[in-house]
Structure 1
Amino acid sequence: MKRPLWQWVLGWVGFVALLATAIFYAASGLLAPGWAVALLLIIWLALLVVAIWLLRTQRPLYVMVLPLVAALTWFGVLTAGENLLGWTG
């Protein structure tokens, strides 16, 4: 089934927004220890793989959710690390 053009455009907008979240994951070393930054980058790469998979399997609208998932995951991990593990910036 062929998707309308607007769905593809929104899918690619979501993909670009996901790419924009990479800077936050990469800059996490200012607050988190190295092992946590590595774990965060692995999570981000997994989200990138899911985004590519969704675009290739004709489900572009689902990609719009991934930047929100990425932002909430990043914020949640850093907040939990700060409160529970004593990470300080």
Structure 2
Amino acid sequence: MSSPTSPQPTRSRSAGPVAVAVLAGIAHLGVGILYIAGGLMVPGAVLFPLWAIWGAFAAWLVYLAVRRSWWTPAVPLLAAALFLVVITVGEQVLGWRG
């Protein structure tokens, strides 16, 4: 039994997930530049929801970073993959031209 004044054991938290989250955040900002530049090609009816999805990805990245998850790099990769799918489908199926 420990007394109320005895020191509590502390868990050592690795700085690894935080460093990976910072790099993932930088990568997600880079992907955000693609989303902004997509306005040159993507019609507004698709562009504004796409920006909202990018924002949701950013919120998910913050959530994962706060939880110190190692899955943070997946967020910018998924955001980039979604952007590429939307652009490819738009070009080949819907006839978008930049």
Contact kept, 8 Å, 1:25 with 1:41, in 2: the verdict is: yes
Report deviation, 1:2: 5.1
The structure-2 alpha-carbon separation of the partners of 1:2 and 1:85, relative to structure 1 and needing over 3 Å to count, comes to farther
- Cα distance in structure 2, aligned partners of 1:3 and 1:51: 19
Taking structure 1 as the reference length, the TM-score comes to 0.89
How many equivalent residue pairs?
A: 88
AA at the equivalent of 2:77: L
In structure 2, the residue corresponding to 1:21 is in which secondary structure? helix
Report deviation, 1:87: 0.9
Gapped regions of structure 2 (runs ≥ 5): 1-10
**Cross-structure match for 2:80:** 71
**Cross-structure match for 2:16:** 6
Greater helix proportion: 1
**Cross-structure match for 1:43:** 53
**Cross-structure match for 1:15:** 25
The structure-2 alpha-carbon separation of the partners of 1:2 and 1:83, relative to structure 1 and needing over 3 Å to count, comes to farther
- Cα distance in structure 1, aligned partners of 2:14 and 2:38: 38
CA RMSD of aligned residues (A): 1.3
Contact kept, 8 Å, 1:3 with 1:58, in 2: the verdict is: no
Counting aligned pairs with the same residue, the percent is 31
AA at the equivalent of 1:21: V
- Cα distance in structure 2, aligned partners of 1:36 and 1:87: 12
Asked which structure has the greater CA Rg, the reply is: 2
In structure 2, the residue corresponding to 1:62 is in which secondary structure? coil
Taking structure 2 as the reference length, the TM-score comes to 0.82
